[in-house]
Homo-oligomer: A and B are copies of this chain.
Amino acid sequence: MYRSKESTIDRSITPAPGTDFLQLTVDDAPAGELSAWLARRLRLAISDGRLPVGSSLPATRTLAAELRVSRGVVTEAYRRLTEDGHITGRGRAGTTVVAAPVTTPTPRPSRAPHAPGSPQATPFTREPGSDVFDAVRAAPARIDLSPGVPDLASFPRAAWLRAERSVLSSASAPELGYGDPRGAPALRLAVANWLARNRGVMVHPDQVLVVAGTAQTLGLLAQVLRQEGISEVAVEDPGSLGARQHLQHWQLRTPPVAVDSRGISVDELHACGAPAVLVTPAHQFPTGVVLDGERRRELMRWAAGGGLVIEDDYDAEHRYDRPPVAALRSLLAERVCYAGSISKLLAPALRVGWVVAPPRYHRALVEAKRFTDLGNAVLPQLALARLMESGEMERRLRHMRRRHRMRRDVMMKAIEEHLPGAAVRGAAAGLHLTITFDATFADTDLATAVLGRGVKVQPLSWHCRRPYAPGLVLGYAASAPTDIADGIATIGAALQDL
């Protein structure tokens, strides 16, 4: 349906000599033994693994044309291999490899680093390394209460497919070429409108840079800041282990600044002397504290005095029992770098986010993005733009909020029942809550014990640099209510035996 007339006209053209399939050319073939030669080459490819069991052979007509031999040559070669029992079939499924000669080298065992049973399958027993989240993900468990993901089961698959279809039917050919490293104009506009509507951030689409999630934002920003001579970004403590790992990978020091019940301590931020700070004001990770009015003003004064605020607005759209708070970016555009993504709105697997930097950093960020990947893939950007402009995202948000809120309530109730000694924090918003224990055990031991019982949770200490109460970070958004209740009960049981 997308072919032009050409494709019918040019069928007459003789194919290129030889075939890419196994790089075969008849020049290697002894005269008069074409079938035997072809059968040998195929048998070799099957035995050395280039044609694994289950792989398909080209149609005899196609292969004959590409080799410029009579079709009978290929048919005869296939017949021999069929008799040997190496290949089978005809008809619609085509010819496929069913057995390899006994000479087959046994394939190397999969080195998937986190196979169940490998040491990393109990990721809490060691200092968390850069692959610790892979390790947790790969660990076998029947219930996953890891924080950081929304209700993925309700991903709007039908709406996404509709958007993809309309994008594919309307995208121009040039749009399928190399694109704007800043992101597709349609998505930058949609993001600008979204931020104005839902986050109080007024920004021109040209100031929006589309990135592959906030993880990439941190990497790009780190490169730019280091060019500017900034080698230190203060982080919240407790604060995200993952964000800290990213900043450190990009050679930034990350001095910790305490978080209390009102948010990050701006006094301590002043004291530590760092020129920049990474904060999660709308719903602090992991404690869930909301940066209160006075602290917001203090932080803005610190920024107005020359500090750079990196605002990770990772789950601000998810609120239950508190009024909305506009993003800090809306208060001081010159000193706040805003980072958002759809990982918590739709799905992390889409790897789409956006950054709105202070104007002075914008150009350098675009350059960093260009030399990282030339810009995000285009089709998903256009599909997402449609969801954002059509109101589908707001609908999804309202839908998710009901589900998330109910799941949170189920988790709170289960904690009351099974973990009476635990203090709950940060449950008014977001996708996770944090519990702490007035005790002295190592929460990594608890996480290990809980994982041993088939439930994944994150130890709070992963996210703490300085002594803090033992605790757990519990995601409730992605699990069914029954699993949530079961999971919390499991924690209670593990706690008994600790």
Chain A residues engaging chain B, CB cutoff 8 angstroms? 1-4, 6-7, 9-11, 13, 15-25, 27, 48-52, 55-56, 58, 62, 94, 107-108, 110-112, 130-131, 133-134, 137, 144, 148-149, 152-158, 160-161, 164-165, 168-169, 173-181, 185, 193, 196-200, 202, 204-206, 212-213, 215-216, 219, 245-246, 249-250, 317, 319-326, 343, 347-352, 367, 370-380, 391, 394, 397-399, 401-403, 405-406, 478, 480-481
A-B contacts besides A17-B323, A50-B196, A137-B177, 14 pairs, CB < 8 Å = A4-B154, A16-B320, A24-B324, A50-B202, A58-B394, A110-B205, A110-B206, A133-B178, A137-B178, A164-B164, A175-B349, A212-B212, A351-B374, A372-B373
Q: Identify which of B22, B180, B206, B373 contacts A111 (C-beta below 8 A).
A: B206
CB distance from A172 to the nearest CB of B (A): 9
Question: By the criterion CB–CB under 8 Å, are B2 and A157 in contact?
Answer: yes
Question: By the criterion CB–CB under 8 Å, are A13 and B406 in contact?
Answer: yes
CB distance from A355 to the nearest CB of B (A): 13
Query: Known interface pairs A6-B481, A325-B23. Does A379 touch B350 (Cβ–Cβ under 8 Å)?
Result: yes
Question: By the criterion CB–CB under 8 Å, are A398 and B7 in contact?
Answer: no
- Contact residues in B for A178 (Cβ distance below 8 Å): 133, 137, 148-149, 343, 348-349
Query: Known interface pairs A2-B156, A164-B164, A169-B157. Does A48 touch B202 (Cβ–Cβ under 8 Å)?
Result: yes
Question: By the criterion CB–CB under 8 Å, are B149 and A157 in contact?
Answer: no
Question: By the criterion CB–CB under 8 Å, are A405 and B349 in contact?
Answer: no
Q: Identify which of B350, B373, B397, B399 contacts A213 (C-beta below 8 A).
A: B373
- Contact residues in B for A405 (Cβ distance below 8 Å): 10, 13, 16
Q: Identify which of B1, B18, B176 contacts A152 (C-beta below 8 A).
A: B176
Q: Identify which of B7, B137, B321, B379 contacts A349 (C-beta below 8 A).
A: B379
Q: Identify which of B56, B111, B380 contacts A391 (C-beta below 8 A).
A: B56
Question: By the criterion CB–CB under 8 Å, are A372 and B372 in contact?
Answer: yes
Identify the 4 closest CB pairs spanning chains A and B, nearest first.
Answer: A349-B378, A212-B373, A18-B323, A176-B347
- Contact residues in B for A94 (Cβ distance below 8 Å): 391
- Contact residues in B for A319 (Cβ distance below 8 Å): 16, 20
Closest B-chain residue to A317, C-beta based? Answer: B20
Q: How far is the CA of A107 from the CA of B3 in the complex (A)?
A: 42
Question: By the criterion CB–CB under 8 Å, are B374 and A377 in contact?
Answer: no
Q: How far is the CA of A202 from the CA of B49 in the complex (A)?
A: 8
Query: Known interface pairs A17-B321, A49-B202, A168-B161. Does A377 touch B397 (Cβ–Cβ under 8 Å)?
Result: no
Q: How far is the CA of A197 from the CA of B198 in the complex (A)?
A: 51
- Contact residues in B for A399 (Cβ distance below 8 Å): 3, 7
CB distance from A300 to the nearest CB of B (A): 17
Question: By the criterion CB–CB under 8 Å, are B246 and A17 in contact?
Answer: no
Q: How far is the CA of A372 from the CA of B206 in the complex (A)?
A: 23
Question: By the criterion CB–CB under 8 Å, are B21 and A246 in contact?
Answer: no
Question: By the criterion CB–CB under 8 Å, are B324 and A107 in contact?
Answer: no
- Contact residues in B for A397 (Cβ distance below 8 Å): 20
- Give the residue among A197, A348, A478 with the most B Cβ atoms within 10 A: A197
Closest B-chain residue to A378, C-beta based? Answer: B349
Question: By the criterion CB–CB under 8 Å, are B349 and A401 in contact?
Answer: no
Q: Identify which of B158, B173, B371 contacts A155 (C-beta below 8 A).
A: B173
- Contact residues in B for A112 (Cβ distance below 8 Å): 185, 206
Question: By the criterion CB–CB under 8 Å, are A22 and B200 in contact?
Answer: yes
Q: Identify which of B164, B174, B349, B478 contacts A179 (C-beta below 8 A).
A: B349
Closest B-chain residue to A205, C-beta based? Answer: B110
Question: By the criterion CB–CB under 8 Å, are B370 and A373 in contact?
Answer: no
Question: By the criterion CB–CB under 8 Å, are B377 and A322 in contact?
Answer: no
Question: By the criterion CB–CB under 8 Å, are B179 and A406 in contact?
Answer: no
Question: By the criterion CB–CB under 8 Å, are A376 and B348 in contact?
Answer: no
Closest B-chain residue to A351, C-beta based? Answer: B377
Q: How far is the CA of A2 from the CA of B56 in the complex (A)?
A: 35
Query: Known interface pairs A198-B21, A321-B16. Does A10 touch B402 (Cβ–Cβ under 8 Å)?
Result: yes
Closest B-chain residue to A48, C-beta based? Answer: B202
Q: Identify which of B25, B152, B380 contacts A324 (C-beta below 8 A).
A: B25
- Give the residue among A23, A174, A200, A376 with the most B Cβ atoms within 10 A: A23
Query: Known interface pairs A9-B406, A11-B402, A50-B196. Does A374 touch B215 (Cβ–Cβ under 8 Å)?
Result: yes
Question: By the criterion CB–CB under 8 Å, are B351 and A373 in contact?
Answer: yes
- Contact residues in B for A324 (Cβ distance below 8 Å): 18-20, 23-25
CB distance from A330 to the nearest CB of B (A): 9
Q: Identify which of B49, B168, B219, B375 contacts A351 (C-beta below 8 A).
A: B375
